Amino acid sequence: MSQSGPLQRIVKRDGQVVPYDRERITTAIFKAAVSLGGTDRQRAGFLAAEVERALVANCGPGAAPSVEEIQDIVERVLIQHGHARTARAYIIYRHEHEQARMARARQPVEVTDNIPYRKIYEVLRWNMDHGCETIAGVNRVIAEGRFDGLVRDSNQRYDDEIAAGAQLVLQRMPQVRIVIIAGPSSSGKTTTTLKLGEHLRRAGLELVALAVDHYFFNLEDHPKDEFGDYDYETPQALDLPLINEHLVRLLAGETIRTPHYDFKTGQRTLDVHELRLAPHQVLLIDSLHGLYDGMTAAIPAQHKFRLYIETLGQLRNESGEFMRWADNRLLRRMLRDSWHRNLQPLGTLAHWHYVRRSELRYIIPFIGSVDYVVNSALPYELPLLKARLFQFLPEAMAAYRDDAKRQDAYIRAKRLAGFLAPLTAVADDSAVPRNALLREFIGGSAYAY
């Protein structure tokens, strides 16, 4: 959230003018200090104030300095106040980001950005046609009593996309033997798998589901993150060789016995669930890492149909900033974890850093290999999620603001609080049908998860 003072706006690298926020400078300085073992956020705040004073002296009150100008002055202020090592860490961080931007610019868009631009354009046009492409627009829909209609239309759009994906699968039959539904955390893979299965069954296909979660290693064998927490988000937490062995045997017509994983105890038992795939049947796999090559490396590409799902929402605030897809999914998971895994929202927020790290490494780079993309963002969901979760964001900001190891959680909580603040919250979810995708996260679904 911006603050009153001599600086009100800054200019981003793409030319966009956005509100100035001194706290972002504080956080950047603090993160540089943390990389060297520092823990004093108050000192970082003092230095950020000095940066602001230097900016006003250089640019004048009311000016809109560029990001580059701000970063230059941060380096200068750090050195002037005797923080040369922190300045060096900040310079290295700045250089690494500049190199990453240059590398992205040199590569083709479809490989670099991993963004389905045509799909995003379709989403934006749909939102504009329904008056929900901005927070102000969504608020207007709610104020005018049109929220129930937005729920209905949004769900229909999503269902239509699933139906279109099912038709693509049918066009490739009988060559396709495995249909993979993949996507990042809380994108809606489970509901999408169930709904896709309904369409395929109505078309006469027989489906067999493979529960990949049963292939987790015992908890003590899981990789751990830097906090010592067990990491369920990496594909290395799964027994990939056993998955591939079983897939090959299933396609050969053999009967296998899959493991069973108990999430309460963190232990798996081998050879539990009997499974067989007949020649006329199709295997359905719902997996976070379904696009990861190692998951199905033993199966030829022509036998696989890969569907990718993501919250490709196009909702912007009054400053023109769009809701981040990962932030949308974070809200979903904070809510689902609270009732499904008995994990408090702040716990989900605190561990989201390794969820994102795994996504960026094992999911996002493989988007170019998919056969179909589904947008699972629902323009009506954020008012409902805000009503359930907004109260936790100030608590998270207070808890993590000065915690050197939880700066990622602090930044996300602050960004979400600022974005959602002007949005009208809706507590009543009675307009959401029991078979809607959002029920996977808010509860009350007709499906068994």
User: Other C-beta atoms within 10 Å of 62: how many?
Assistant: 10
| Burial class of residue 399, CB neighbours in 10 A (0-12, 13-18, 19+) | middle
| Whether the Cβ atoms of residue 349 and residue 415 lie closer than 8 Å to each other | no
d(C-alpha 305, C-alpha 181), whole Å: 9
DSSP lists the bridge partners of residue 289 as none
Distances (CA, A) of 358 to 21, 94, 174: 29, 23, 34
| Whether the Cβ atoms of residue 224 and residue 399 lie closer than 8 Å to each other | no
Q: What is the pLDDT of residue 58?
A: 87
Angle at 397 between CA 394 and CA 402, to 5 degrees: 150
Q: In a 3-state reduction of DSSP, which class is residue 68?
A: helix
Cis peptide before 174 (omega within 30 of 0): yes
Q: How confident is the model at residue 62 (pLDDT cuts 50, 70, 90)?
A: confident
Indicate whether 448 pLDDT > 80: yes
Q: How many residues are listed for the chain in this entry?
A: 449
Indicate whether 99 pLDDT > 80: no
367-412 pLDDT, tens digit each: 888 899 999 999 999 999 999 999 999 999 999 999 998 999 999 9
Record the tokens describing residue 175, joined without a space.
Answer: 């060559």
Q: What is the pLDDT of residue 219?
A: 87
Q: What is the pLDDT of residue 1?
A: 42
Least confident of 10-24, 303-317, 418-432: 10-24
327-342 pLDDT, tens digit each: 999 999 999 988 776 6
Q: What is the DSSP annotation of 368-418? A: GG-SEEEE---TTHHHHHHHHHTTHHHHHHHHHTT-GGGHHHHHHHHHHHH
Q: What is the pLDDT of residue 67?
A: 87
Rounded to an integer, the average pLDDT of 6-27 is 85
Indicate whether 113 pLDDT > 60: no
Q: Higher pLDDT residue, 102 or 278?
A: 278
Q: What is the pLDDT of residue 5?
A: 66
Percent above pLDDT 90 for the chain:
68
d(C-alpha 216, C-alpha 107), whole Å: 36
Percent above pLDDT 70 for the chain:
92
d(C-alpha 45, C-alpha 127), whole Å: 40
Residue 95 is which amino acid? H
Q: What is the pLDDT of residue 106?
A: 42
Indicate whether 273 pLDDT > 60: yes
Record the tokens describing residue 274, joined without a space.
Answer: 């009997």
Question: What domains can you pick out in the chain, each with its CATH number?
Answer: 9-106 (no CATH), 115-442 (3.40.50.300)
d(C-alpha 352, C-alpha 184), whole Å: 12
Indicate whether 225 pLDDT > 70: no
Record the tokens describing residue 314, joined without a space.
Answer: 């196009």
Rounded to an integer, the average pLDDT of 58-77 is 88
194-212 pLDDT, tens digit each: 999 999 999 999 999 999 9
Q: How confident is the model at residue 227 (pLDDT cuts 50, 70, 90)?
A: low
